[in-house]
Amino acid sequence: MFEKMIRKHSVYMVIFFIWFISVLISGLLTLLIMRITLNENYMIALIIACSAATVASLSTSIPTSLVYKKIIQMKDEIIKLSKIDGLTKLLNRTSFMELYEQLVKDSIEKQDSLAVIIFDLDHFKRINDSYGHAGGDKVLERVGTIIKQLLPKQELIGRFGGEEFIVVLHDVTKDEASVIGERIRHELNSSIIYNEKEINFTVSVGIVHTSHCNLDTDSLIKIADDNLYIAKRNGRNNTSIEYV
């Protein structure tokens, strides 16, 4: 935060410095013009006047361009941040659904294979009750870090809500979908240290795979979600998959 404040104020200091120097030079040139004009050397006065006008123009255009560039950068950053869940650094639900709906539409048109994986932290309420919401947040952060390291960047990954996460795999076989789902479950059988205490956590995983996508977005999510609850009923820290 402190470094951001320094960078922010540094930009403003540079802008002010450029403006101040430009105005100072413009003023000195103006005084020189008046003196030369009084001596009736109009050609020299005209040249200096043009120089003064140029400097005066730069005094406004340079800071304005710098400020505009900074505003554009801030706007792009805000747009980027609005798509990301602040805690896990994964796509938030809104951004995920926008991309997911387009991916499903394309897969239906091309009859591509598709897999939807939904996984959920087991007994997350118990973690919050035992270690506080700050401890629970640390677990969620760790889940985000692990899942990003585990899956290729081209896969669609999002925080679906609370302690629930969703992954979409495009153009994969049913065996590949099953293996990836099991890898997620295995890697997220993990722990963190929080306030010198170990917090253990596991996930349950529900998967739906379609060889030739012909289901809409809601249907795929519902089947994956149903299998998630089957995994939980089977004792949690478990995986359930359905092929459609």
Catalytic: which of 3, 163, 198, 242? 163
- Chain centroid offset of residue 17 CA: 35
**Which of 233, 88, 219 is CA-nearest to residue 164?**
88
Q: Specify whether 155 is catalytic.
A: no
Amino acid at 243: Y
**Which own/partner contact pairs does 17-21 have at CB distance under 8 Å and 24+ positions apart?**
18/58, 18/59, 18/62, 18/63, 19/59, 19/60, 19/63
Tokens (6 digits) for 166: 């969703």
Catalytic residue numbers, as ranges: 163
